[in-house]
Amino acid sequence: MAINRPEPKLDHEYDGIEELDYPPPAWFNAIFWGSIAFGLCYFLYYHHYDGPGLTAEFEVAQKEHNALMRQLNPPRIFTPQEVAAAEKDGATLAQGRANFESKCASCHLKDGGGQTGPNLTDDFWINGDGTTPFLVRTLQDGVTDKGMPAWEDKFRPEELLAIASYVRSLRGTTPSTPKAPEGNPVPNA
Ligand code: HEC
């Protein structure tokens, strides 16, 4: 295609060689300046103001994922009859005790007196009221940001009920080195 308009020449010439001066096309300028503006905003938002870092974004995604998994796979709720039966059944309590001693004693001590984790024999509870259904919930979910692991994936629901029943049976006992009470006073029912 022939170009009819005069060619825009820069006003220098070397040995007959001239330089043309076509401006870059508008779309190119838009991308060029747009990228700079975007980069500046990105830098200010993430590095100067409090834009979320990768870790924060990951934690949000993980929370959403956990909430979704909980929705798809709701925890087993035991009936009051099941709970009452487990609390009285010797074989269940023995199974709960074995798991408690192997998995929980490292933080709560064998007699539940508490060390890294709180005393489980007293009438003070940080989470819930110390009754078996609430203990099951604490075991399922853990208190992961305070150092109490979640046990839902490690034990079957019946095993969690057995452990919770055993923990319930420790209440009111006298451990050898009791940790000072933590949480709210809840009368032992
Ligand atoms: C790595 C250490 C650790 C292990 C292992 C652990 N816990 Fe804990 N546990 C904690 C900590 C720390 C807390 C306090 C959480 C808080 O501050 O809310 C806690 C809290 C609890 C509570 C709630 C106490 C309250 O006052 O609210 C119960 C019940 C409990 N643990 C039972 C268990 C059982 C049963 C196991 C074994 C299956 C276990 N824990 C294993 C560290 C541990």
Would you state the pLDDT for residue 1? 55
Q: Could you report the per-residue pLDDT of 152-163, keeping only the tens digit for each? A: 989 999 999 999
User: What's the pLDDT score for residue 70?
Assistant: 83
Every domain of the chain and the residues it spans: 80-185
- Quote the ligand 1 centre to 58 CA distance (angstroms): 25
Under-70 pLDDT residues of the chain: 1-3, 189
In Å, how far are 66, 93, 112, 168, 170 from 121, measured between CA atoms?
31, 16, 6, 8, 5
Report how far ligand 1's centroid is from the alpha carbon of 161 (Å): 15
- The per-residue pLDDT for 5 is 72
Q: By the 8 A CB rule, do 75 and 139 touch?
A: no
In the prediction, which pLDDT does 132 show? 96
Which 8-state DSSP code applies to residue 24? P
pLDDT at residue 68 in the model: 93
Task: Calculate how far, in angstroms, residue 105's C-alpha sits from the geometric centre of ligand 1.
Answer: 10
Bridge pairing between strands 17-20 and 9-14: antiparallel
Instruction: Supply the angle between the helices 132-141 and 80-88 in degrees, to the nearest 10.
Output: 90
Hey, which of 137, 148, 152, 156 would you mutate to test ligand 1's pocket, going by the most ligand atoms within 8 Å of its Cβ?
148
CA atoms within a 13 Å half-sphere pointing along the CA-CB vector of 175 = 23
Domain 80-185 has CATH 1.20.140.10: no
Give me the pLDDT at residue 3, please: 59
Instruction: For ligand 1, atom 23, name the residue with the nearest CA.
Output: 127
Rg over alpha carbons for the chain, rounded to the nearest Å, is: 33
**pTM, 2 dp:** 0.74
Task: Determine whether the shortest distance from the Cβ of 163 to ligand 1 is under 6 A.
Answer: yes
Tell me the one-letter amino acid at 66.
N
Ligand 1 atom having least distance to the Cα of 147: 12
Q: Which ligand 1 atom is the nearest neighbour of the CA of 100? A: 37
Q: How far is the CA of 148 from the centre of ligand 1 (A)?
A: 5
Q: Is 143 helix (H, G, I), strand (E, B) or coil?
A: strand
Residue type, 111: D
Pair 35, 47: CB distance under 8 Å: no
